[in-house]
Chain A
């Protein structure tokens, strides 16, 4: 997935010890994770978690990503069946060709009143940002939902609120930034408007209308998505060694 618009923040170097108190268990986590035939003992998992907490908060929170492009505006309760109807769930996201195909079907379940998300004959969307109302991504646990949006070219969703599984899947896959607006903004922005989402400043600027909106901080989800998802983040921060 292309992340050309993301500015990576400096992350703690992989050389940092996972935890001063438990280097042996941390290394057993590191090695056992990859050659993993046994589960990870909870003590080692706590070592991983303490590594995250021990790193300075500035490095562990927020993102410097800025996303510029046109926005696609929808309303409340955009559920996963609208984002990616069930008939397309036979496409397996971890297979590259099928990942691309999923992207081509993103938002195909939307009622016609919202307009076309992807132009006829194209497989990617021209809209980098989706602006939504309350409870975005409600419904199924299908990870295909944030995957389809990300594969289609969406870099961020800015919504009033999220359903929990969709939010979680967005972070875990690193496919897009699920940003919360301060209050409801979907009624004031129109599909096609040019916007800039600045995660560091916490703003969405609509260049077409000239209005600016405040965003809630992306918090700890930021570095995870910057890195490309939880596994990539764990490798980047030295919690688990690079894939063999």
Chain B
């Protein structure tokens, strides 16, 4: 089974390193403990030596926590070794060093918003900066309507209109309008990646909790609310607290029946839905090295389900290859220093893991798929930013080239949708995903949107009291539109296998 080891030494190094040197050779006081360790405040003195750079903002946006005081090491070691997340935030705040717990003003490279977040964000932006105000950079705001877009709901459609008006008024360069099919893309997180807006070393904010998806590109990406987004729209910056990093080392050969969705469900089950609150989750190891970009996105997508601020997979040749031709903006990748301090380290031997599900009603309610084989299901849903990328559909189709019950296959993104109808499924004698799904009796793959994952307007698919296996990311009560429905989160293989049998099914029943 998986082995989990915590690195007490790493934690000790982290604490010892939380000293902040003053110019005169002494150290600034450790104020009190933050969530995860000492919170250092630069107490400004009104003296000529107090420079602007040393004065910092105290924590405004995070609960102060009074844990027991940890005494700083006496040797006054200056922390130079940084984690990937710390490096990205240091660069974005023009600092040469920083420590977890520190609040810094970072420049945003991209602000993304969609039809649910944009109207409120725009309202706040205009109220605070003036009705004729212009966004800080028309090329850094990316507008992607994707949540409630194929619906008769009037307010939903009005909200897309609000987005469109704003895009025109501000001459926003990147607006993926649903009216213009050549430009429409669908689910925001996949679109951001496909359109080259995710770049290593950058800072990306989005009015959506799964913005952390982009951490797969070795960048700092996190979800924010309308007010913070409105602030960024006007200033291009945001005050954020530097998170400490939890490191997940994933080694070993991935079994053929295991997908990265199984890995992240395994991890969330390990640390719980609050196990990474206010922290960064970094994924490294030989298994990660072999992952595709879509795999890495699946990993990072769900870090928010563990409460994390961001997820990060350091960029490598796989990343660079993916980005070729997608972006012309230069980027500078970062990775954690060898001597960097991590709050905790977890090690997994992926070859020993089994397919898992998250049982109702929590993403950390982990169970082995094979132990749920008596759970009769009503519906299977394969889609969403988490589990509706091209590779997810190929995986499902590969397993499904057999028979079936009732499945809904919406997909994620226009390009993914096109892939469903064009790419041949390995081992299916030249059939495309769509052909396999249709032959197996699934509902026709539909146009891309987020709707069903979160139970959108009344005419959204699957808002019923059912037992559903889903490749989505959350299964809290009522998530898909019905409070009594039971949602099992699973990988595309597990979902496909379950669709074939009508029960929660371990994919090994079908994959040798």
Given the interface pairs A37-B133, A39-B136, the reply to whether A92 lies near B474 with Cβ below 8 Å is: no
Kindly list chain B residues whose C-beta atoms are within 8 Å of the C-beta of A90. 116, 148, 153, 155-156, 158-159, 457
Task: Please report the total number of B residues contacting A with Cβ < 8 Å.
Answer: 84
Q: Please, what's the 1-or-0 string for A178-221, where 1 marks a CB less than 8 Å from any CB in chain B?
A: 10100000000000000000000000000000000000111111
- Size bracket, chain A contacts: 35 or more
- Whether, in the assembled complex, B391 has its beta carbon less than 8 Å from a beta carbon of chain A, the answer is no
Choose among A36, A94, A95 the residue that contacts B234 (Cβ–Cβ < 8 A): A36
- Whether, in the assembled complex, B332 has its beta carbon less than 8 Å from a beta carbon of chain A, the answer is no
Q: CB distance B63 to A162 under 8 Å?
A: yes
Kindly list chain A residues whose C-beta atoms are within 8 Å of the C-beta of B483. 109, 111-112
A-contacting residues, B278-308, CB 8 Å: 278, 307
The B interface, classified by DSSP as helix, strand, loop or mixed, is loop
**Stretch of B174-182, B235-243, B244-252, B318-326 on the interface side:** B235-243
- Whether, in the assembled complex, B64 has its beta carbon less than 8 Å from a beta carbon of chain A, the answer is yes
Q: What's the minimum C-beta distance from B314 to chain A, rounded to whole angstroms? A: 23
Q: What's the minimum C-beta distance from B145 to chain A, rounded to whole angstroms? A: 12
**Stretch of A3-11, A75-83, A123-131 on the interface side:** A75-83
Complex alpha-carbon distance, A46 and B478, angstroms: 43
Kindly list chain B residues whose C-beta atoms are within 8 Å of the C-beta of A219. 58-59, 63-64
Choose among B63, B211, B277 the residue that contacts A135 (Cβ–Cβ < 8 A): B277
Q: CB distance B55 to A173 under 8 Å?
A: no
Q: Please, what's the 1-or-0 string for B105-141, where 1 marks a CB less than 8 Å from any CB in chain A?
A: 1010000000011011011100111100110110000
- Whether, in the assembled complex, A47 has its beta carbon less than 8 Å from a beta carbon of chain B, the answer is yes
Q: What's the minimum C-beta distance from A24 to chain B, rounded to whole angstroms? A: 12
Q: CB distance A53 to B42 under 8 Å?
A: yes
Given the interface pairs A33-B235, A168-B224, the reply to whether A46 lies near B55 with Cβ below 8 Å is: yes
Kindly list chain A residues whose C-beta atoms are within 8 Å of the C-beta of B75. none
Kindly list chain A residues whose C-beta atoms are within 8 Å of the C-beta of B57. 49, 52-53
B-contacting residues, A91-150, CB 8 Å: 91-95, 109, 111-112, 134-135, 138-144
Q: CB distance A165 to B225 under 8 Å?
A: yes
B-contacting residues, A214-236, CB 8 Å: 216-221, 224, 229-231
Choose among B43, B62, B123, B133 the residue that contacts A164 (Cβ–Cβ < 8 A): B62
Q: What's the minimum C-beta distance from B304 to chain A, rounded to whole angstroms? A: 8
The chain A residue sitting closest to B153, CB to CB, is A90
Given the interface pairs A46-B53, A164-B277, A172-B228, the reply to whether A39 lies near B236 with Cβ below 8 Å is: yes
Complex alpha-carbon distance, A52 and B458, angstroms: 46
Q: CB distance B224 to A33 under 8 Å?
A: no
Kindly list chain B residues whose C-beta atoms are within 8 Å of the C-beta of A230. 60, 227, 231
Q: CB distance B60 to A224 under 8 Å?
A: yes
Given the interface pairs A33-B235, A138-B273, A216-B66, the reply to whether A39 lies near B137 with Cβ below 8 Å is: yes
A-contacting residues, B197-241, CB 8 Å: 207-209, 211, 223-228, 231, 234-237, 239
The chain B residue sitting closest to A138, CB to CB, is B273
Kindly list chain A residues whose C-beta atoms are within 8 Å of the C-beta of B120. 92-94, 143-144
Complex alpha-carbon distance, A144 and B46, angstroms: 41
Kindly list chain A residues whose C-beta atoms are within 8 Å of the C-beta of B239. 49
Q: What's the minimum C-beta distance from A240 to chain B, rounded to whole angstroms? A: 8
Given the interface pairs A79-B474, A82-B476, A164-B62, the reply to whether A42 lies near B225 with Cβ below 8 Å is: no
Kindly list chain A residues whose C-beta atoms are within 8 Å of the C-beta of B128. 231, 243
Given the interface pairs A42-B107, A90-B148, A216-B63, the reply to whether A54 lies near B55 with Cβ below 8 Å is: yes
- Whether, in the assembled complex, A163 has its beta carbon less than 8 Å from a beta carbon of chain B, the answer is yes
Complex alpha-carbon distance, A138 and B277, angstroms: 10
Q: CB distance A92 to B130 under 8 Å?
A: no
- Whether, in the assembled complex, B51 has its beta carbon less than 8 Å from a beta carbon of chain A, the answer is yes
Give the interface centre of A90, A109, A112 by most chain B CB atoms within 10 Å: A90
Choose among B42, B225, B278, B476 the residue that contacts A141 (Cβ–Cβ < 8 A): B225
Q: What's the minimum C-beta distance from A94 to chain B, rounded to whole angstroms? A: 3
Choose among B56, B105, B107, B477 the residue that contacts A111 (Cβ–Cβ < 8 A): B477
Give the interface centre of A35, A61, A92, A144 by most chain B CB atoms within 10 Å: A92
The chain B residue sitting closest to A169, CB to CB, is B225
Given the interface pairs A87-B455, A161-B274, the reply to whether A42 lies near B105 with Cβ below 8 Å is: yes
- Whether, in the assembled complex, A22 has its beta carbon less than 8 Å from a beta carbon of chain B, the answer is yes
Complex alpha-carbon distance, A47 and B105, angstroms: 11
Q: CB distance A87 to B481 under 8 Å?
A: yes
Kindly list chain B residues whose C-beta atoms are within 8 Å of the C-beta of A35. 130, 133
Complex alpha-carbon distance, A95 and B228, angstroms: 17
Given the interface pairs A81-B479, A94-B120, the reply to whether A45 lies near B235 with Cβ below 8 Å is: yes
8 A/B residue pairs, CB under 8 Å, sorted by A: A53-B43, A87-B458, A87-B481, A90-B153, A94-B127, A109-B477, A142-B117, A161-B63
Q: Which residues of chain A have a CB within 8 Å of any CB of chain B? A: 19-22, 33-40, 42-43, 45-47, 49-50, 52-54, 60-61, 77, 79, 81-82, 85-87, 89-95, 109, 111-112, 134-135, 138-144, 161-165, 167-169, 171-173, 178, 180, 216-221, 224, 229-231, 243-244
Nearest 6 pairs of A and B residues by beta carbon: A94-B123, A143-B225, A39-B236, A141-B223, A50-B55, A219-B64
Q: Which residues of chain B have a CB within 8 Å of any CB of chain A? A: 41-44, 46, 51-53, 55-66, 93-94, 103, 105, 107, 116-117, 119-120, 122-124, 127-130, 133-134, 136-137, 147-148, 153, 155-156, 158-159, 162, 207-209, 211, 223-228, 231, 234-237, 239, 273-274, 277-278, 307, 309, 362, 454-458, 460, 474, 476-479, 481, 483
Using A39-B235, A53-B55, A94-B123 as known contacts, list a sample of 13 further A-B pairs with CB atoms less than 8 Å apart, ordered by residue number in A: A39-B137, A49-B56, A50-B44, A50-B56, A86-B456, A92-B120, A94-B122, A164-B277, A168-B224, A169-B227, A172-B227, A178-B63, A219-B63
